[in-house]
Amino acid sequence: MQENLIGYLLNALDERTSQQVKSYLEQNPAAQEKLSFLKHALAPLAADAESPAPPPQLSVRTIARIAEHICSAPALTSTSTTAPISELPHAPVISPSTLPFVRSWWRRADVLVAACLLLLVAGIGATILGRMRLPQSSALIADCQNNLRLFFTALHQYHDTHGQYPDIYQEYPRNVAGMVVPLLREAKTLPDNVSIRCPGNGAPMSYTLTLTELRSMSDEEFARQSPYLSRCYAYSLGYRDGQGKYHAPGTEPQAGSSQRPIMADRPPLEGIVTNSVNHGGIGQNVLFSDGHVIFTPQRTLGDGDDIFQNWNLKVAAGLDLADIVLGYSAAKP
């Protein structure tokens, strides 16, 4: 019966076994003393009885994590499949004879020390791996920059013809940033060798649906396709002036317009203030209106303007001319 004392304390025994333990205790003073000792030793566990509160913004971060796979996952089709869920490993069985009869505060201290050591070793390992991957990452960053320069050629030709860059705002209710790709294709300025997938995320990929096909889709069909239009890249959401009027990218006054970002590696979803996932979170390539591309390790440029959200911390059109916002494929002005 000794091995059932813990289960008796935790109300983890079936009714028949619980009654047997109760009878055993009534007839065995030594067992009663041991039960009292166990109860005293387990008392500190009451501090952990309540379920811990979920981390802040758990739901938002979960959605963003799923979105991070958009760049490397195949495009959606009308038929979707659910990936199998891997079975979790079973918890190890602990023999009653190995249970320590000590206060749990010592065990928590041991776990804390072990966790600190694990984090230290993991940090050193991540640094070493990061340095090992640096040459390859640099090459992929350069490939991505060259791909963005091909986008610039298409945007520049479009601007020469239309006096502005593609105006996604006019595509309501299909007014998402990713519409820049079919708009450029419709204008026949986008070369066939331009990839909507970042070279760091796999083989080149083109978007084949036409502007007419996208405009004729139902809202549900378009919603499924919108994250894949510009896939791994973000495009300017324009800005609104003091009267609330929307201005498409490329219609700004000429002074300083060459230093305005127009495209970049796609950011996480709204609410997640981290770097693009295209290059392992170490930074993002940014394409400017004069065709030059830079790689920056932070989302801010110039006087601290976050290029992936406006001054109201929203993924939407800028609040004035100086507020630059580049939106992921499904983002709207």
| Residue 247 in tokens | 């201005």
pLDDT tens digits, 1-41: 666 777 777 787 888 888 877 887 787 877 777 777 777 77
**Does the pLDDT value for residue 237 go beyond 70?**
yes
Q: Domain-by-domain residue ranges, the chain?
A: 134-327
Per-residue pLDDT band at 272 (split at 50, 70, 90): confident
70-74, 80-84, 114-118: least confidently modelled range: 80-84
pLDDT at res. 7: 78
Mean pLDDT of 139-151: 91
Residue 303 CA to residue 57 CA, distance in Å, equals 28
What does the mean pLDDT of the chain come to?
77
| Residue 301 in tokens | 């440029």
DSSP string for residues in 83-131:
PPPPPPPPPPP--GGG---S-HHHHHHHHHHHHHHHHHHHHHHHHHHHH
List the Cα angle 327/301/174 in 5-degree steps.
10
pTM of this structure: 0.62
C-alpha distances out from residue 114 to 100, 111, 118, 126, 141, Å: 18, 5, 6, 18, 37
Long-range contacts of 4-10 (CB under 8 A, 24+ apart): 5/31, 5/34, 5/35, 5/38, 6/38, 6/42, 6/96, 6/99, 8/35, 9/35, 9/38, 9/39, 9/42, 10/42
pLDDT at res. 328: 94
pLDDT at res. 257: 61
| Residue 31 in tokens | 């067992």
pLDDT tens digits, 33-57: 777 777 777 776 666 566 677 776 5
144-148, 266-270, 319-323: least confidently modelled range: 266-270
| Residue 143 in tokens | 């490939």
Per-residue pLDDT band at 109 (split at 50, 70, 90): very low
Per-residue pLDDT band at 64 (split at 50, 70, 90): low
